[in-house]
Amino acid sequence: MASIEVRNVTKVFQLPDGPLTALGGLDFEVGDREFVSIIGPSGCGKSTVLRLVADILQPTEGEILVHGESPAEARSKQLYSFVFQDPVMLPWRSVLKNVELPLEILGAAARKPFNDRPAELLDLVGLQGFEEASPNQLSGGMKQRAAIARSRLLNPKVLLMDEPFGALDEITRDRMNLELLRIWEETDAAVLFVTHSIDEAVFLSDRVIVLTPRPGRVFTDVEIDIPRPRGLELKQNEVGFRYSAKLRRALGEGAASAGIDIMTQETESLGADVPRPSGGSATEDEGR
């Protein structure tokens, strides 16, 4: 059974100026324990895909299954967790108390098997000794480690990650890439990962899905046939460069298939991926 199945999914947002089709006829799967990244031009619907899988948004057409369940059923069974670019830590709670947050929605009996897990996960992500620290005492990378620890708390079968390292400097990002692979390899979870970084996608992934400009659809699905474990030298060697070049060509060809100059489209979409209705009430991720 696939961890995620996306079948002919279309998503249309209703904006004051009329309908906007963010995704059109999207089809792909993520296998068990597979690490799959999604890349594409700004505004092609990458983040929308994650929110549809997470039951935050509903598809206009098509079907999504998470381990054979609808997204709503999968959410109720805690089959997946979500890591955002912003670690979203409550500043008045300690690091440990932030990691424990998911347990507070469970009853006493349901949470009992997980009582020791927050501390164990902080050890796993290298934050032992920072349990009682406040979030404002942590670096950006440390906050994201805590967010990853929290996402693993209930042993989800699927991890959804929306540009979790996009705001980090390059050195910290490389370190977090290594940490994520180490953590993932110690679990049985599948990962669906959105990124704007081609090099990051190559380094992390078993497969990379390239989306066309909006309305997003799968232009190509590239297998990254590189043995694991992987080291950072992959980002600087011939094998890594070859896969990165292949993905860059695919991005350009996908844009061309939609009649778009990708460089112009990227420039025009910076900071304004999708028209927003006045008052800023549109869904934040429309068309991302």
Confidence at residue 261, expressed as pLDDT on a 0 to 100 scale: 75
Q: Where are the domains of the chain?
A: 1-79+158-288, 89-155
Neighbours of 182 (CB within 10 A): 13
pLDDT at 279 over 70: no
- Write the pLDDT tens digit of every residue in 109-163: 667 778 788 999 999 898 999 999 999 999 999 999 999 999 999 889 999 999 9
Looking up tokens 């180490």 gives 182
pLDDT at 213 over 90: yes
* Structure tokens that stand for 165 in this block: 């390292």
In whole angstroms, what is the distance from residue 288 CA to residue 284 CA? 9
* Mean pLDDT score, 50-56: 97
H-helix or E-strand containing 2? none
Helix, strand, or coil (residue 287): coil
Q: How far is CA 64 from CA 78, 257, 281, in A?
A: 16, 26, 26
pLDDT at 73 over 90: yes
In whole angstroms, what is the distance from residue 145 CA to residue 200 CA? 17
Spell out where the chain has E strands. Answer: 4-15, 18-30, 35-39, 61-66, 80-83, 158-162, 190-194, 207-211, 218-223
Confidence at residue 173, expressed as pLDDT on a 0 to 100 scale: 92
Confidence at residue 260, expressed as pLDDT on a 0 to 100 scale: 79
Confidence at residue 277, expressed as pLDDT on a 0 to 100 scale: 38
Residue 245 corresponds to which amino acid? Answer: A
With respect to CATH, is domain 1-79+158-288 assigned 3.40.50.720?
A: no
